[in-house]
Amino acid sequence: MGGNGKIGVFFCLEGTDTPPELNLEEVARYARNLESVVRVEVMGTRPRLDPETLAPDLKRAGIETVVVAGDSPGHFKQAFVRALALNGANPEEVRLASFREHGTVPGKLTERAKAIVACAVRDVPFGLAAVPKPVPVHPVTVVIGGGIAGIQASLEIADAGQKVILVEKSGTIGGHMAMFDKTFPTLDCAACILTPKMVAVAQHSMIDLMTYSEVQEIAGSSGAFRVKILKKARYVDPDACVACHACRDVCPISIPSEFDSGITTRKAIYMPFPQAVPNSYLIDAESCTYILSDGKKCGACLTKCAKDGIHLDEKDTVVEVEAGNIVVATGYDIFDASRIERYGYGTLPNVLTALEFERLTNASGPTGGTIVLKSKKYNKRKKAEEWVFDAEGPRPKSVVIIHCVGSRDARYNPYCSRVCCMYSLKFAHLVREKLPDAACYEFYIDMRAFGKGYEDFFERIKHEQVFVVRGRSAKVTEKDGGMVVKGEDILNDRLMELPVDMVILSVGLQPVADVESLARMFGIARDRDGWLTEMDYNLDPTATERGGIFLAGVCQGPKDIPDTVAQASAVAARILRSILSGKGQGSRADLTLEEIDARSRELAAR
């Protein structure tokens, strides 16, 4: 330890996300009683620190070591470094006690903050002092979420010979990736690389696939969880169903297709998409006339099923399984673009979200992959005109892609969603490729082409005559039957008012709607943006404070497919380690202040 040993603890808050249950005064009182601490000060939110005034202050108190505590103390470090240097003390002696990095345990924020401060005062890395005890571990793993993250993690673990139960909420695995047309920057066909993995899951002897099921409750403790899973009634026996589509053809109910992001319809008895796994029909109880009328009406599909596979009296069941580890791979929702009225989504027919365009340009989409404008058609059943995509419809002559819709915006989601720049560039490429006569504009704020090969891709689309305009457009208005997009072309110092045919909104990612109840069920915290929190942002991005529960994919924060796959494989490695060694990870959340305190004293004494 450097200096004279006298330590000052200064609390400086960033302020944007200080949870109300964190009692800073109590932490400060605790810090005052720590050894060597001569001064504790709560500097408040975003203090303006001046090294020139701090220096004499520190000198008077004889402080040569400073602990900066707060949610992001690194923001305030520099002032103290300079103050110490001005005093002729060792400027290295500024330590950070970061609540955000180690501090998010639901319900125990104040206790955790105390432990973090104590470790910083003793110059012991928190990660070393707060090591949970190993626990015996049950060999079965439950994976929650059947997107690419869940699929990858399940396959990795199962391929190693360990049992996996994969629980998926919807009727098929595949998640968002199954909806995509191409992946960036390689322009691989998403379905072509995903479907073999989906089939592998279905056929794997070590994977129990439970689609149309939801985890309801997680009891037990790390290494020995008891997981309650609700198996919703599918009303169609997947073993009997041969996907002959006879039932679909007679079903009178049409509702927007989730898989096609609402640009086509599906029936109440449906298969999510042709390559669904399991490749079987199911019935949406919320729109089926027979089920809604308690068997009094309809029932048309019953007579058509040659295999007698439809059981409209099927009931939901709950199963309980034991598991040693749980992988949370619950994914994300996309931002609701209709919240930004100025973009006209929902009122102007040819303003699309990214996911809608993804389905439109997909070869399995409603137009077979032809990019067309919506055209008005008369719907005989509804007796009204409606806007639909028709493969013979008019082709757009100009397409505008607007970046950062709902992202990097204090009013909606303040964070960068990370994938939108790249998928927008991919869209631009697809537009130019499929419609060589159409002009394509990208309105962006900053181009975040950060990954391997991404910058190359950006350069490539610039050479494909895509007009890349720096400046996010703010307005889409209707004019003479067409649309006008208004935006500032910042680099050319002019205002653009472009007449366009189609607008694609690059909507961001956000936590799933029920993330709060999910987090409560898992017993893990959420960060200020709502994503589930990992154990350590830098060094342990897959584990959580709750031992045995791991995170994979976007549920932890926005990321693209390669990163998601990498994280899922990393989770599998962690889980296999615990199973093979027989030592599961205990919960750091369960460690008491006294335990961490004692351990940090022990380490400091060495």
Partner 1 sequence: MAIRANPRLIEELELYGAEDVSKCYHCGNCSAVCPFSRDPFLFPRKSMRYLQMGLEEKLKGNLDPWLCYYCGECSDECPRDAEPGETMMSLRRWLTSQYDFTGISRLFYRSWKIESAAILLVAALTGLGFWLFGSSVGSLGVYDGPGAFFPSSAIHKFDWALGFLLAGLLLVNCARMWWFSIGRDPKLRIPVSAYVRRLFLLPFHFFTQDRYRQCEKKRPWAIHLVLMLSYLTMLVLIMFFLHLVQSGPEIDWRVHAFGYLATAGLLGTTAFALYGRIRKTETHYKHSHESDWIFLILLGYVAGTGIVQHVLHRAGLNTAANITYLAHMMGVVPMLGLEVPFSKWAHLAYRPLAMYFSALQEEAMEARGRASEETARLRAA
Residues near partner 1, by CB under 8 A: 342, 404, 408-412, 445-446, 470-475, 486-488, 490, 493-495
Question: In this complex, which beta carbon is closest to partner 1, that of residue 16 or of residue 186?
Answer: 16
- Shortest Cβ distance from residue 13 to partner 1 (Å)? 18
**Which amino acid is it at 43?**
M
Specify burial of residue 606 (Cβ count, 10 A radius: 0-12, 13-18, 19+): exposed
Instruction: Report the nearest approach of partner 1 to the CB of residue 236 (Å).
Output: 46
Residue with Cβ nearer partner 1 (123 or 488) = 488
Q: Which amino acid is at 486?
A: K
**By the 8 A CB rule, do 424 and 357 touch?**
no
How many angstroms separate the Cα of 171 from the Cα of each of 105, 142, 179, 234, 417? 34, 18, 14, 8, 27
CB of 349 to partner 1, least distance (A): 22
Indicate the residue among 382 and 411 with the shorter CB distance to partner 1.
411
Minimum distance of partner 1 from residue 63's CB (angstroms): 29
Q: Which is nearer to partner 1, 466 or 469 (CB)?
A: 469
Nearer to partner 1, 388 or 445 (CB): 445
Neighbours of 349 (CB within 10 A): 17
Report which residue type is found at 565. Answer: V
Query: Whole-angstrom Cα distance, residue 422 to residue 456?
Result: 11
In the bound complex, what is the minimum distance in angstroms from residue 408's beta carbon to partner 1?
Answer: 6
- At closest approach, how far in Å is the CB of 400 from partner 1? 13
Q: Which is nearer to partner 1, 422 or 469 (CB)?
A: 469
Please say whether the dihedral angle defined by the alpha carbons of residues 581, 571, 515 and 272, taken in this order, is positive or negative. Answer: negative
Nearer to partner 1, 125 or 414 (CB): 414
Q: Say which residues have a Cβ less than 8 Å from residue 454's Cβ, sequence separation at least 6.
A: 184, 185, 422
- Cβ-proximal residues to 285 (8 Å cutoff; 6+ apart), any chain: 232, 233, 235, 291, 292
The rounded Cα 327 to chain-centroid distance in angstroms is 14
* Min dist. Cβ of residue 410 to partner 1 (A): 5
Cβ-based nearer residue to partner 1, 22 or 474: 474
- Judged by CB, which is closer to partner 1: 289, or 477? 477
- To partner 1, the closest distance from the beta carbon of 340 in angstroms equals 9
CB of 532 to partner 1, least distance (A): 25
Q: In this structure, what DSSP letter does residue 396 have?
A: P
Closer residue to partner 1 (CB): 15 or 125: 15
Contacts of 109 (CB under 8 A, 6+ apart): 19, 21, 22, 99, 103
Smallest gap from residue 402 Cβ to partner 1 (A): 11
Would strands 282-283 and 269-270 be described as parallel, antiparallel, or unpaired? antiparallel
Q: How far apart are CA 118 and CA 113, in angstroms?
A: 9
DSSP 121: H
Cβ partners under 8 Å of residue 480, min gap 6 = none
| Cis amide prior to 185 (ω within 30 degrees) | yes
For residues 401 and 440, the answer to whether their CB atoms sit within 8 Å is yes
Question: Which CB, 391 or 495, lies closer to partner 1?
Answer: 495
Q: Taking the complex as a whole, how short is the minimal distance between the CB of residue 474 and partner 1, in angstroms?
A: 4
- Cα(563)–Cα(361) distance, rounded to whole angstroms? 24
